[in-house]
Amino acid sequence: MVLDYFYKKKYSFLVTGGAGFIGSNLCSVLLDYGNKVICLDDFSSGKLINIKSFLNNEHFKLIEGDIRDYETCEKACKKIDFVLHQAAWGSVPRSIEFPLIYQDINIKGTLNIFEASLKQGVKKCVYASSSSVYGDSADLPKIEKNIGKPLSPYALTKKVCEEYGSIYKKLYGLDTYGLRYFNVFGKNQNPNGDYAAVIPKFINLLINNKTPVIFGDGKQSRDFTHVDNVVQANIKTCFTTGEYAGDVYNIAFGSRKYLIDIYNDICEILGKNIKPDFSEKRKGDIEHSIADITKAKKCLNYKPEVDFKDGLKLTIDWYINYGKNQ
């Protein structure tokens, strides 16, 4: 499906946070189809190893820089057709510790990218938002128009970015599209540290015969989607009609899994029999989440192709073969 867009014409893409988890997967697919890719990353969370194989590709260019610097953003946006803005600091718990840094990186950085995209005549600016914007809303499934109050500084920064995206379309005519990622997993995701996402952390610890910690009782549910689905969504959004710009879209698989079930699935695939430790629930975490992806299907032609079971097997295989470098 992606090949259709690049059959007769190649394009230039800026991927901010291109050395990160989702960004590096985007770079890989875009380069596979012969497009020009500019990667902007300051390596505060991205890793050089994620893009090392691209460095000798004539269609790839790395700009090591910070999205908080406007001149760097404008330089990166020159002669770019599409911006895929992934650069941000993630993690709800970390944002509670460092709210000022999140304000600076996630909001100011995104505003710089919007402004630079506008000034440089970028066709479309697709940016990463988050399911965390649903906050304290108990509604299931999550529908784009029904949100609650944010439960963390991270969630608030993503909500503010969505408002700026809408304003830049309405006032300045920049085609922006906010993709509300739910729980994304897959290759190149960092399994280490206190703020690591749950699936890579479980996999990494179990591979090394260590005991993972589950915060809460494990009965929390999330809509997990493999990174290949997110890559598809970003690319398809670049080629959707402008009438859908200035809005936000849920990007997920459209089903939910309980954390304890995921843990047991990973144990089964790895052939492990390690009981997890349970700890106090973390501040800012929501209890349940599942996305309604009807809007993304209709407006973006989004069709998630990798289900949870297949995605989990692909991810575990990758960590067994390559994850030791993360």
**What is the rounded average pLDDT of the residues 134-141?**
92
For 201-211, write each residue's pLDDT tens digit: 999 999 999 99
Report the mean per-residue pLDDT for the chain.
93
- Domain 8-185+227-254+286-306, what fold? Rossmann fold (3.40.50)
For 29-64, write each residue's pLDDT tens digit: 999 999 999 999 999 999 999 999 999 999 999 999
SS3 34: coil
Helix axes 109-119, 153-172, angle to 10 degrees: 20
Is 90 exceeded by the pLDDT of residue 11? yes
**What is the rounded average pLDDT of the residues 88-107?**
94
Contacts of 116 (CB under 8 A, 6+ apart): 70, 73, 74, 76, 77
Cis peptide, bond prior to residue 191, ω within 30 of zero:
no
Percent helix, percent strand, percent coil in the chain, to nearest 5: 45, 15, 40
Lowest mean pLDDT among 58-67, 208-217, 246-255: 208-217
Predicted local confidence at residue 282, as pLDDT: 76
**What is the rounded average pLDDT of the residues 235-260?**
95
In angstroms, the CA 182 to CA 187 distance is 16
For 165-201, write each residue's pLDDT tens digit: 999 999 999 999 999 999 999 999 988 866 568 899 9
Whether 311 contacts 226, CB under 8 Å:
yes
